[in-house]
Amino acid sequence: MKEYSKLISVVVPLVIRLLAFTLIVSLASCVTTKNTVQDIQLQFLAGEISQSMMAEGKSVIAVSDFPDIDGNIRRYSFYVTEELTTRLFQTGKFKVIERNMMEQILRELELTSTDLFDSTNVKQVGKMLGVDAIVVGSLAKTGKFIKINARIISVETAEVLAVSSVNVDYYEAVQEMWDSTVEAVGVLEKGEESEIQLGTEESPITWAFVPAGEIERAVSAAQSVADLLYNKTGLYFSTSAATEYADVIEAMASDPPEVHMASLDTFAYVLAADRGAAEATLVSVRFGSPTYSSQFIVRADSGISKVADLKGKTFARPDPMSTSGSIVPMLAIRAAGINPEADLKEIIDAGSHVAVVAAVYNKDVDAGATYVDARVSLEKDHSDIMDKVVVLKVMADIPNDGLQFVPSLPKEMRDKIVKALFEIAATKEGKEVLETAYGWNAMEKHDDSFYDIFRQLLQTSGLTIEEFRQLTNR
């Protein structure tokens, strides 16, 4: 009897452990199966969209966030958008516009994803994104399933090109994302940001910049940098291509920050630092130097031989807050006895340095200002650019653009990002994408004091930083 009891005391615990293990394996298998089924369903949906796009001869597409039937955007909406975007891109048959670019356009137009069911809005947003079609849709919870309805809308005609739908099991992982709603343009609801850790897929670190050259190539390369950073750090990043530095500064200064790191040029950084919105960390190196120069350019046949001759002329700049294209040139114009606001016939904001060169070349304006030497970017298309567009004057050196963080970003996270960037820059692939995205050949560590020489230059004008910003925006 004692031996039997002893045997029971040994066997029963083993049996219990075996049953527990079997139950765990069974549950894990269940979850894995549900994940696999969901993958198949989303792959089917992406396949339907892909076939319809090919049949209609469309090659550039954007995917909007799918609201629920009440118009709410849920975290699961983000998941569906990201999955469809990734799967469509992986086909290799389409150019797929990043979700953050869609968000940027919607914010600018004060629209939401639900507004894309309107044909007028589809056309406007689609043309701004440069796409052939936009995938819109909705989510509907029906019992134990979530039905995903998708439709492809032509940007040119606003016609529905195709429709498709799938049912996804409403299991725990899906339920967690479904139960969390966000603002329609993709911003976490107030108070939710503290619950989701920054650097996760749900709350990526946003890196904003203003492309100096071809926007599409720069945006694509910036995303490649973000992917490389993820591989090095395990942190998720989203990239945001802005049209003006002022927008980036406002996003960094918001509470909570909408942008966590940025590539600001010198004046934009000084202005952001003055507002307590940015802290310098890295400065880019181009052609072996962390500084660069600004230049005035004119047509060779313009008759303009000195800065004073710009009085009464039309003038192009990339952006009101561009250091080399606006701030430093305006200081030089004032030093020549010209009041830019009163004495120049017109000031045109061209949108980029390359656009300024093109405007001068095409005689759209009499003169312009860019970094040295932005003309090279157009040599491929205009072999006579260096002869037709000449440099009127080169100004003093100023710090290059670089990388800045919002003060609230933890030091540990900053250090990890900086370390990863240096490792990326040491590889062939990393060098290529950093140069394409940001025009960086290398990087150097510099803090805020590196910009003091520029601050001294501003002081010679007798204006404060804010006063000068206001003047440039007029």
What string of pLDDT tens digits covers the 474 residues of the chain? 445 444 445 444 444 444 444 443 343 344 444 456 667 777 888 888 888 888 888 888 888 888 887 778 888 888 888 888 888 888 888 888 877 778 778 877 888 877 887 878 888 888 888 888 898 888 888 777 888 888 888 888 888 888 888 888 877 767 777 776 655 443 434 344 444 688 888 889 999 998 866 778 888 889 999 999 998 888 899 998 888 888 899 999 998 899 999 999 888 899 999 889 999 999 999 889 999 889 999 999 999 999 999 999 999 998 887 888 888 898 889 888 898 889 999 999 988 899 999 999 999 999 999 988 889 989 988 999 999 999 999 987 889 899 999 999 999 899 999 999 999 999 999 999 999 988 899 999 999 999 988 888 777 766 666 666 665 554
Same domain, 236 and 259: yes
pLDDT of residue 420: 94
Same domain, 323 and 234: no
Closest-CA residue to 78 (of 219, 183, 235): 183
Same domain, 108 and 72: yes
Q: How far apart are the first and last CA of the chain?
A: 99
In a domain, 125, yes or no: yes
Return the CATH number at 339.
3.40.190.10
In a domain, 440, yes or no: yes
Domain boundary (373, 395, 417) is at 395
Same domain, 129 and 209: no
Domain boundary (380, 395, 410) is at 395
Question: How many separate domains does the chain show?
Answer: 3
Same domain, 280 and 305: no
Q: In angstroms, rounded to a whole number, what is the distance separating the alpha carbons of residues 269 and 265?
A: 6
In a domain, 5, yes or no: no
Contacting residues for 252 by C-beta, under 8 A, at least 6 apart: 208, 258, 259, 260, 262, 272, 277, 278, 406
In a domain, 304, yes or no: yes
Same domain, 404 and 424: yes
Same domain, 145 and 227: no
Domain boundary (366, 395, 424) is at 395
Same domain, 64 and 129: yes
Return the CATH number at 83.
3.40.50.10610
pLDDT of residue 8: 47
Same domain, 150 and 257: no
Same domain, 336 and 450: no
Same domain, 389 and 455: no
In a domain, 377, yes or no: yes
In a domain, 273, yes or no: yes
pLDDT of residue 312: 94
Dihedrals phi, psi of 445, to nearest 5 degrees = -85, 125
Same domain, 371 and 306: yes
Domain span at 148: 22-182
